[in-house]
Chain A
């Protein structure tokens, strides 16, 4: 990954240079809703964070105990673990504009 200066409103925490975006997608099984959400998230990331992101899909059917940690209520939910602060978007991410706001990518655009 080549370092590329990213214009950001809030400067990222010092210990983690704001290069890698860690995203978690919480879903319940391989439902159409889950698949749609994953596809939508992937699309946004590819267009805005190409090569700088990692998506972890957590299937709550298999790992229900993980729901508590990120305060998951709604499914699907995307949690931006990094960069800080933590951001949460719920829904199948069909409204791209809202996803961009949610992930705080507007400014980076």
Chain B
């Protein structure tokens, strides 16, 4: 988790800095604590003062090669080793290797009698001896205020403390002094009077029954520093302060695209799905199918062989697996193959910082390519609005740095306010898919649309999606003059259109038949006329033939009668050429 360790000296500062190695703290302070000067860390009981100080020493020894001295006034060496070991620091080993010296200073007031003047040279000697024995560069005094309880003479003590801090400066060690938070002042005994270079205040706020630790750099003489209160957490790897601006916006970007598991949704996203490493927001009112789309996405990724980490804040893993099975999505084999892991936790289980820490830890352990948070809104309710947003920012930063694609579902209440609550979060997201219910005709239908998708041409269409036992199917919603039609209205509209087409077709067919009929009638007429004509022509020919025959017969008869009447043959011959004349005669 400690990938970035800032340079020990920032160019803008006037004096050198001493990196703490504590995640986030160096970023807030612009490089670390003032080198060679004492820093006061104050806070109430259980704020993590001792841990912060101890981590400063341990990291100094391990990461920066600077040995350190821990002078404890409240906890014994054995206790300290045990306490710090719970954070994964091997204090005992460091002591053995002479990288850290522990000195438990204890003075029981009841066993001590005061008589006359004294000073605290003994403390100086011990500290000096410890520093010199290992060449320490860092010193922690935890917590010096215990001396006020041990030593009755406050006047001497104050004078000696003043001398101690001067002495520490002269010694050139970077010191961290812890102190209990006072009621009216910063520390109970006014130690801030002596330590004036850097003051860090730790706080432990309980909001809505959920505790969150905060760190604030109250004072940092001569250097720029973040003045805000930053949430911090104590995890298995020590303290991590989580500044919102912790990571500069310089993570690598990938142009690789990954499918959503819903082909039509991919199509809406320029045909190829989301960008790898992008952050995706899926918002919708209750029951719009957010988890189903998320599970589809997880399923698709796991099927590609990518590890998927599914954080569920409302349902148990088995419940999700069972529910997804009902739509034909089999997640269990993927879980068994180790490609899909669920992590369920109630949002109210612990504070946001702890959730974040747990998530960071899980992500670091599992190394997923895809992370799903379902739903992020219920997690955000564990803190205030701004805390929630800060947490999402940090989470996205963290995931983007690791090129992990993240999908957050977000539950919204119905109505128009739905987009408002998300606007804050949405600016962090690269893609935003909105799921919505359409109510009408006595039914509710689900639609989805891509509200934004950075860096890709995406569909502006509202699509209806259907959830069946075979999974999700995205279909075109009917968009007409009366608005968007979904569900049975869409089907009805479809039927209506089909009927219209059919009617048109029928009409055309009727027309065609009519035309055909007309043509055949025409044909019939023509053939009738033709047959009339033909029969007349035939008649004519017949008559002509009859006439011819009759004439010749007449001629023959006349010749015969002529013969009979013994007429002139010449007359017979001439009447043969002109039968009509002959007939008229």
Contacts and interface: CB of A to CB of B under 8 A. Distances in A.
Nearest to A31: B121
Interface in A57-109: 60-61, 64-65, 67-68, 71-77, 85-96, 98-99, 101-102
Interface in B109-129: 111-123, 125-126, 128-129
A33 interface: yes
A28 interface: yes
Given A73-B126, A73-B151, A74-B121, 12 more contacts: A33-B118, A40-B116, A64-B125, A68-B129, A71-B106, A71-B107, A73-B120, A73-B147, A74-B118, A89-B112, A92-B117, A92-B118
A58 to B, nearest CB: 11
A67 B122 contact: yes
A18 to B, nearest CB: 19
A94 B128 CA distance: 28
Contacts of B197: none
A38 interface: no
B116 A73 contact: no
B119 A88 contact: no
13 contacts: A28-B122, A60-B121, A60-B125, A65-B129, A73-B122, A74-B118, A74-B119, A74-B151, A86-B111, A88-B113, A90-B115, A92-B118, A94-B117
A89 B113 contact: yes
Interface residues of B, number: 24
A92 B135 CA distance: 33
B105 interface: yes
A36 B112 CA distance: 19
A93 B115 contact: yes
A74 B120 contact: yes
A94 B112 contact: no
A49 B114 CA distance: 20
B392 to A, nearest CB: 50
Interface in B503-536: none
B103 interface: yes
Contacts of B123: 73-74
Interface in A20-39: 26, 28, 33, 36-37
Contacts of A33: 117-119
B144 to A, nearest CB: 11
Contacts of B147: 73
A75 B119 CA distance: 5
Contacts of B129: 64-65, 67-68
A89 B114 CA distance: 6
A85 B128 CA distance: 29
Interface in B479-522: none
A43 to B, nearest CB: 12
A77 B112 CA distance: 10
A73 B125 CA distance: 9
A102 B113 contact: yes
B267 to A, nearest CB: 75
B115 A67 contact: no
Contact of A101 (B107, B113, B122): B113
A91 B125 contact: no
Given A28-B121, A73-B107, A86-B111, A67 B116 contact: no
Contacts of A26: 122
Contacts of B112: 88-90
Interface string B7-27: 000000000000000000000
A28 B111 contact: no
Contacts of B115: 89-96, 98-99, 102
Contacts of A68: 103, 126, 129
A98 B113 contact: yes
Nearest to B157: A74
B64 to A, nearest CB: 27
A98 B115 CA distance: 6
Nearest to A99: B115
Nearest to A85: B111
Interface string B133-175: 0000000000000010011000000000000000000000000
Contacts of A96: 115
Contacts of B113: 87-90, 98-99, 101-102
B111 A88 contact: yes
A75 B114 contact: no
Chain A CB within 10 Å, residue with most, of B112, B114, B116, B120 = B116
B122 A60 contact: yes
Contacts of B118: 33, 74-77, 90-92
B125 A87 contact: no
Contacts of A28: 121-122, 125
A77 B129 CA distance: 18
A42 B135 CA distance: 39
A77 B150 CA distance: 14
Nearest to B112: A88
Contacts of B121: 28, 60, 74-75
A92 B107 CA distance: 18
B121 to A, nearest CB: 4
Given A88-B112, A90-B112, A94-B117, A71 B105 contact: yes
A38 to B, nearest CB: 12
Contacts of B107: 71, 73
A86 B114 CA distance: 15
Nearest to A36: B116
Nearest to B122: A72
Nearest to A60: B125
Chain B CB within 10 Å, residue with most, of A61, A74, A99 = A74
Contact of A75 (B120, B128, B151): B120
Contacts of A89: 112-115
